[in-house]
């Protein structure tokens, strides 16, 4: 199973002097909240898609069966 990434701290970015719009930036999403209450979502699609692909690859590797090892000549001789 894929493991979760540690959460990073969110910070307020580019806040004007009067405080609006308020912006919270995460790893994949930036949320702008305006004074009238509506919000705007700005996705970082490249980062999101890359992280999902990496998680899928790690899940595929975890579910793969280990390679079967051939018996060596010494172990075949001992078993006879």
Q: What is the pLDDT of residues 14-30, one digit of tens each?
A: 555 578 889 999 988 99
Q: Determine, yes or no, domain membership for 47.
A: yes
For 48-77, the pLDDT digits (tens) are: 999 999 999 988 887 776 666 767 666 656
How many separate domains does the chain show? 1
Structure tokens at 69: 């090892």
| E strand intervals along the chain | 11-12, 22-25, 29-33, 39-43
Residue 69 lies in a domain: no
Question: Is 6 within the bounds of a domain?
Answer: no
The boundaries of the domain holding residue 31 are 11-63
Mean pLDDT calculated for residue range 28-48: 93
Query: Does some domain include residue 17?
Result: yes
33 within 8 A of 41, measured Cβ to Cβ: no
Q: Is residue 72 part of a domain?
A: no
Question: In the numeric block, which tokens belong to residue 39?
Answer: 């919000």
The Cα angle at residue 60 between residues 54 and 64, in degrees rounded to 5: 150
CA distance 22 to 49: 26
């Amino acid at each position: 199973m894929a493991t979760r990434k540690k959460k990073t701290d969110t910070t307020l970015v580019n806040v004007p002097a009067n405080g609006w719009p308020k912006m919270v930036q995460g790893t994949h999403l930036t949320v702008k909240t305006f004074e009238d209450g509506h919000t705007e979502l700005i996705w970082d699609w490249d980062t999101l898609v890359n992280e999902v692909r990496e998680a899928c690859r790690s899940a595929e590797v975890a579910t793969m069966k280990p390679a079967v090892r051939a018996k060596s000549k010494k172990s075949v001789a001992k078993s006879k």
